[in-house]
Structure formats: structure tokens, C-alpha cells
Amino acid sequence: MSVSELVTDPFHLSSFNIYYSKTSVHYIHLPIHPELRFQLIVLQIPCVKIKIMTKRLFIIAILLTGSYLAEAQLNGVFNKVKNKAQQRADKKIDAEIDKALDKAEGKNTQPAPNDAPVTKDPSVAKPAEDNAIKSYSKFDFIPGDSIIYAEDFQQDEIGEFPLNWNTGGKGEVVTLNSYPGKWIRMYENSSYLTSNKKLFSKNFTMEFDVIFQMKNTGYTYPMFSFGFFASDADSTTDNKFLNYPNKYQSSEILFRLGAGNTTYTTIYSNTDGKRTFTSDQQEFPNLEKYYGKVSHVAVQIQESRIRIWINGEKKYDLPKALATAYVFNQLFFKLSTSSYNDDELGFYVSNLKVATGKPDTRHKLVEEGKFSTTGILFDFQSAVIKPESYGIVKEIAGVLKDNSGIKIKVIGHTSSDGDDNANMELSKKRAAAVKDLLATEFGIEATRLETEGKGETQPIADNKTKEGKTANRRVEFIKL
């Protein structure tokens, strides 16, 4: 179809150029953003009736100005009208672009409820189990085997700030319509301290899930960071650490969130208030693919060495990044400010876990005849294995391959949350899922693997605490 009319921005704001006919808009040219370095995008989308007409705007401006006869005053009102029309046009353009992309990708374009913190659109749906496991095929993170701190907010009330946490801004516990469990929603210009009060030791692992839910309207996203610090003899939730976590010793991992492959990360370390280490900037465009989805962060600390995996991808392995004068004992999260409104952004964190000790899988399984791990994770009340479990399952498979004469029984265990009978069935299904993964993904003969479920009948820790429940949700491997 021929282009019958050319419409350009009548206000010379360089926001977009549109070539359209009565039935379709043929091209939309989005310029390169001066700060976010957006790439030029060319799209063909259905017709948008964008009524930006200079003459009409001029008439509106005249009516609004009334007795304002001075040229400067007239220009001010005229600019306000132009900006309002520009904003409405931008919203229409964004909506039609989204519809066109959704249609091209075969997505369901039915809108989600207005109060949904995370959309139900398939584009943010959890990936299929087999694809997710394969995407973590190089993930070699092994969590510690002794739980120090755990947090999933199950004991907290919806809409309230988490019990025993601290913040200088605001936050609340929420549920999400696309992902199970409870999450803390974090807001811009806020810092957060967890409720932990125990020492982490010199060697520990840390994990958590985070969702970055953001609607790009052209502004720079806020910066997100997390880290850990030592409070020495002070309380781990003392107010001074909200703004000054590096008083004694700290390390902070900064995410400079962007669009168009501009995201990057940096690590900073401090001792006694002085900067002791700054990492090289690491570009991280793959993180942008997980916006609106769950990202899993895993950290391993060994004295001064820090290794970080994000969604199965190892981003850092720094041998001398951390100071060791103090022992870390607290986690923190931060969000900077931006020009976005709260309803345009959502930052959600859950499933925190800090553990110490490095499991000796080979020794425990082959020589002692028993190995237990909390590192095999499942979806909430489900037997679907999370992809971040790949590292520990791979290690167990390696032991079985090196010792081909060994047969084992895989035993699933749960915490006391939920119905007793349901937990028993769930533990059986989880053990079977681990067996299936060992057989299908790693080639371990199914005849060498037996399964059993114990439900909540054999706890090894107190089910009245968060850490105890996390320890009880385990998978056990018994040598036959």
C-alpha cells in the first residue's frame, strides 16, 4: 500500500517519526536515546489514529490562554498543550507496538488485571523444565550444606513490611499472580537490611531470586544492588548501616539496569570506610532477557575470593576482591532513584538462603554411604526441579559415573508446612523427579536408582524456624 501522508513531530521534540496511510502505519522510527543508547527500531504495526494536529493545538492554546496576551505567556501554555498531546500519542504508540510484537510472536494479548504486580502474559511465564535445566548446563555452583539464614516471607502478612527487617524507605510483602510464594517488593530510593543476626563465617554461599518488572518509557532505570557487610559488635539492623554499610567491611554488587544491551555490573569492596577494590565493568545484556521473569543469583565466598552466577552464567571469579579483617554477618539491598513512578516499576526479592560448609559429595556418598543436600530446589509445592539445582545434581551424577557399581536410593523430605498426606506424596514425586533427571540428563542407568518419599516424618531441624524448615526440605541419597 502506498504511503499517502507523512506525519512528523509537529513540536520538533525528535520523539518519533511516523509514516502512515488510512489503514496502517508503515514505519515507526525510534531515535537513538542519548543516554540509554537505544537501537534504531523499524516496525510495521496496525493503524494508530494519532491526532496531533498543529492547527487544533493552536486553537486550544488560544482558548486556554484567554487574557494572556503576552507572547511569553502564550508560548508557555502552548508548550504545555503540546507536551500533553505528545504524552498521549506516546502511550498510543507504545500500546500498538506491544500489540504488534505480541501478535508477531503469537502471544495472548488479553490484558492482565490492573492490580497484578506481575503480568500473566506468556512472555513472563516460567520456562519449560527441560529447557530451563539445559540453560544451566555450565552452572557449577554448589551451595553450602549448613543453613545459616533463610527467608521466604511465609510468616509475614501481605501488605506489611517483613518482620525484623529494616529500611530507610518503604517495602511490603506481596504475592504475585505469575509466581508462587511471597516476595518483598522494594521501592526506589530505599535500602533494606535482612533480619539475620548470625555470623556467616569466612566461607559461605548465598542465593536469592529477584524479579525486575519494568515498563520502559525512555528514562534511565534505577540502579539495583545487593551485598553483605560486617557489623562488628553492632546490631546487624542498626540504622547507620542503611546508609553506611561500609563502616567496617562490605562488598556491594551493582546492577546498572538498561535496555538495548546496555546493562552492566560492577563490584565494590570497602574496609573501615575506605574503598579497597573495584572490579572491571562487566557487560550483561543477557539479564535484559529476564526482565519480568525470575532471575536467580548465586554467590560463593571463600576468604577473599568471590564468585557470582546470575541465571546460570558465571559473571565474576575474583580471587582478591574481598577484605578478611572482619567476618560478614548481614545482607543488604539498595535501589536508587529515577524518573519512573512506582506503578511503572516492580522489584521483588525472595527465597534468600545463606549456608556455610562445602559438601564433600564423593566422600559422604561413597565412603559414608549417605549424602543429604538442600541444594536441589523445586518450584513451590511442586516436583518441578529448578534450573539452579543443576550444579549439585551434576556433581552427584559424576560420583555415580566414577563408581559404576554403586546403587542408591533417592529420598525426598519436606518441611511441616501443609497437609501431612500431601507432603508425603510431594516428597515421593520429588524423589522420582531427581531420579528422572539423573537418568535422562546425565545417563545414569535407571536400574541403579530407587526412590522413596518420607514427607515431613523425619525432620533434622526445628520446623518452627525459617532456617529449620529450609534444612528439612532436602533430598537424601543412600548407598544401597
Q: Would 113 be classed as within a structural domain?
A: no
Q: Are residues 274 and 298 in the same domain?
A: yes
Both ends of the chain: CA-CA distance in Å? 73
State the Cα–Cα distance between residues 427 and 295, nearest whole angstrom.
26
Q: Are residues 459 and 425 in the same domain?
A: yes
State the Cα–Cα distance between residues 328 and 226, nearest whole angstrom.
14
Q: What pLDDT shows up at residue 44? A: 39
Q: What pLDDT shows up at residue 137? A: 59
Using a 10 angstrom Cβ sphere, with 0-12 exposed, 13-18 middle and 19 or more buried, the burial of residue 425 is: middle
Scan for cell 541403579, then name that residue.
Answer: 448
Q: What pLDDT shows up at residue 377? A: 86
Q: Are residues 287 and 434 in the same domain?
A: no
Q: Are residues 233 and 87 in the same domain?
A: no
DSSP letters spanning 284-307:
-GGGGGGTTSEEEEEEEEETTEEE
Whether 359 contacts 142, CB under 8 Å: yes
Q: Would 115 be classed as within a structural domain?
A: no
Cα distances (Å, whole numbers) of residue 113 to 211, 216, 286, 299, 416: 19, 20, 28, 36, 33
Q: Are residues 316 and 387 in the same domain?
A: no
Tens place of pLDDT for every residue, the chain, 480 residues? 433 333 333 333 333 333 333 333 433 334 434 333 333 333 333 433 333 344 454 444 444 444 444 444 445 444 544 554 555 555 455 555 555 544 444 444 333 333 344 444 333 444 444 445 555 656 778 888 889 999 999 999 999 999 999 999 999 999 999 888 999 999 999 999 999 999 999 999 999 999 999 888 889 999 999 999 999 999 999 999 999 999 999 999 999 999 999 999 999 999 999 999 999 999 999 999 999 999 999 999 999 999 999 998 899 999 999 999 999 999 999 999 999 999 999 999 999 999 997 777 878 888 888 888 888 888 888 898 888 888 888 889 988 999 988 999 999 999 988 889 999 999 999 999 999 999 998 899 999 999 999 999 999 889 888 888 888 998 999 999
Q: What pLDDT shows up at residue 142? A: 84
- Domain of residue 453, CATH code: 3.30.1330.60
Cα distances (Å, whole numbers) of residue 247 to 20, 242, 244: 59, 11, 6
Which of 104, 136, 163 marks a domain boundary? Answer: 104
Q: Are residues 90 and 181 in the same domain?
A: no
State the Cα–Cα distance between residues 135 and 311, nearest whole angstrom.
9
Q: Are residues 244 and 279 in the same domain?
A: yes
Q: Are residues 199 and 317 in the same domain?
A: yes
Q: Are residues 137 and 230 in the same domain?
A: yes
Torsion of CA 275, 242, 224, 93, to 10 degrees: -140
Q: How far is CA 406 from the centre of its chain?
A: 39
Instruction: Using alpha carbons, select from 166, 303, 187 the residue that is nearest to residue 245.
Output: 166
Q: Which domain holds residue 27?
A: 5-104
Q: Would 213 be classed as within a structural domain?
A: yes
Q: Would 278 be classed as within a structural domain?
A: yes
- Domain of residue 189, CATH code: 2.60.120.200
Q: What stretches of 66-157 show up as alpha helix (H) in DSSP?
A: 71-104, 129-135
Count of residues in the chain: 480
Q: Are residues 418 and 295 in the same domain?
A: no
State the Cα–Cα distance between residues 247 and 274, nearest whole angstrom.
8
Structurally, the chain folds into a number of domains equal to 3
User: Count of alpha carbons within 13 Å of 85, Cβ hemisphere only?
Assistant: 22
Return the sign of the alpha-carbon dihedral for residues 466, 467, 469, 474: positive
Scan for cell 552492566, then name that residue.
Answer: 264
